[in-house]
Every structure is written in C-alpha cells, then in structure tokens.
Chains A and B, each alone.
Chain A
Amino acid sequence: MTVSEIAERLSLSPLTLPCGEREIGGAYIGDLLSWVMGRAQSGDAWITIMSNVNIVAVASLTDVACIILAEGVTLEDHVREAAEQKEVNILCSDRTAYELAKSLAGLIQ
C-alpha cells in the first residue's frame, strides 16, 4: 500500500507528500535517531515524536517511505521546507505510536 493510500485510510494529515506513490513495507517506532538508523528498513513507515530538522536527513538516508509524527506533534516551517527539498514524506496524527502501528499492521501485508 502506498503512502498516499495509508494517509487516506488512517486519516493522517500530510505535512509534506512529494513521493506519495512510495510503497510502505513495514514500520519502525523510535525517537533515538541512531537507533532508527541502525534498525529501520528501507520502505518502512517511521513513527516518531521527534520533530527537529535532523529527522529529515535520517529519513532520507535510511530510505524510509515516510515519517509519521504521532501524538499531535507538528513541524516548524524550516523542517517542512527541508523535507520538501529532500523529498521526504511526512504525515501527522493525534494518535499514539501504538495506535498508529496497530492500524498500520492491519493494512500492510
């Protein structure tokens, strides 16, 4: 299922969506950036509450399909701009990481 489809099915708000057609193959939850870089897989949806500009580089380098900001976390404008520039999809939701992962698991085969 693509990032755009997941966004619609889970009612996630797209903050940046330059590559909505990317397929999501799994999910990783974490806020420690090196931990994410060591463990997240290419094509994962990365669920986090971390919102500083470094998440854009981490998402780009680990090649995750998108970042999902949980618990109502939002982005500053300069982070959003960096994400557009580096073609990183970022979605957000008021739900917890657990609730998001539970819903995702039902959609990703």
Chain B
Amino acid sequence: MTEAVRFHFSVDGDDFSSAGQASVQVKKSLRQLGISPETIRRVSVAMYEGEINMVIHAGGGYADVLVFEDHIEIQLVDQGPGIADIELAMQEGFSTAPDNIRSLGFGAGMGLPNMKRYTDSMEIESKLGEGTKITMRVNL
C-alpha cells in the first residue's frame, strides 16, 4: 500500500502550554486533504491524548501521522519510564499523574481509554526503563 502523506512532530517534554500544537496542526493538514470532520476529530483527539501523556510521563517524544488510502496511522514514540501494567493503565480512572497535572484538568485516567475509544485499533509496546511505542489506526 502506498503511503500518501506523512507528518512528523517532536513533542516537547516540559511544555504544557504548547502541548496540542502537533494535534492542531494535524487537524489542519487533514482538513486540507479533504478528510471527513468526524475522522479528523477522532485522529486529533487520540493524538492529543498521546501528546499529553508524553509530556506528563515521558519527558516528550515524537509523533508520526501516516495517511494511507484507506486508513490513518498514528505512531507515538517516547523514551520515558515505560508502562508497568498496561492492562491497569487502560482502565478508565486509573492514573499516575501528579497533583500539579490534575489541577490543570488532566490526569483523570481517561487518556489511554480515549485513545482506544477514538481509534479502530491500538497497540502498545512498552519496556520499563526504555520507553513506549503506541500505534493507532483509524479507518477511512
């Protein structure tokens, strides 16, 4: 399958105020490609949750969005501490975010569940002390 378009973003680990810039840029770019508003909403929310996770937990990372003919793939890669128990992390309401993050309205334990909710498939590869790679797919 031919890869139509690829967007690459690095996610700054310390900057909460700029978190979301990559997602908003993806939203704009997908709109220019003529992707439907509902699909754009799903892709950009899933990606934003991933960006926020990388800022909160992993000191940043990078994100790639690949647009194929029949689906969009989002890859999120960080070199953070890794996820100790993925099954637990996937439960709504479970969070390890610190209080200062919660006071911003994040850390409700909905990030990973939302990423799964808004995508057609999601795969998490994580190694403690090495990092995490999340691959999400949204069908067109």
- Is the interface on chain B under 10, 10 to 19, 20 to 34, or 35 or more residues? 20 to 34
Closest to A37 in B: B45
A interface SS class: helix
Give complex CA distance A34, B105 in Å: 8
Of all chain B residues, the one with the shortest Cβ separation from A53 is B17
Contact of B49 (CB < 8 Å), options: A34, A42, A50, A78: A34
In the docked arrangement, what's the CA distance between A58 and B27, Å?
12
Number of residue pairs across A and B with beta carbons under 8 Å? 70
Indicate if A104 sits at the interface (CB-CB under 8 A). no
Interface residue count on the A side (C-beta < 8 Å):
22
Residue of B whose beta carbon sits closest to that of A56:
B20
* A4 is an interface residue with CB less than 8 A from chain B: no
Give the chain A neighbours of B17 by CB distance below 8 A. Answer: 53-54, 78
Contact B110 A63 (CB under 8 A): no
Which of B38, B48, B113 is the one whose CB lies under 8 Å from A57? B48
Which residue of chain A is the closest to B105 with respect to CB atoms?
A33
B128 within 8 A of A: no
- Residue contact B114 to A38, C-beta cutoff 8 Å: yes
B37–A38 touching, CB < 8 Å = no
A54 to B45, Cβ gap below 8 A? no
Main secondary structure of the interface of B (DSSP, over half): helix
| B44 and A54 contact, CB distance less than 8 A | no
Report whether B110 and A35 are in contact in the complex, using a CB–CB cutoff of 8 Å: yes
Contacting residues, chain B, for A50 (C-beta < 8 A):
105
| Interchain CB contact under 8 A, B41 and A35 | no
Q: Please tell me if the beta carbons of A54 and B38 are within 8 angstroms of each other in the complex.
A: no
Interface residues of A (CB under 8 A from B): 31-35, 37-38, 42, 50, 52-58, 60-63, 78, 86
Q: Would you list 24 pairs from A and B whose C-beta atoms are within 8 A, ordered by A residue?
A: A31-B105, A32-B105, A32-B106, A33-B105, A34-B52, A34-B108, A34-B114, A37-B45, A38-B117, A42-B38, A52-B105, A53-B17, A54-B16, A54-B104, A54-B106, A55-B105, A57-B20, A58-B48, A61-B23, A61-B41, A62-B41, A63-B37, A78-B17, A86-B24
The 5 closest A-B pairs by CB, nearest first: A57-B20, A34-B110, A32-B108, A33-B105, A61-B44
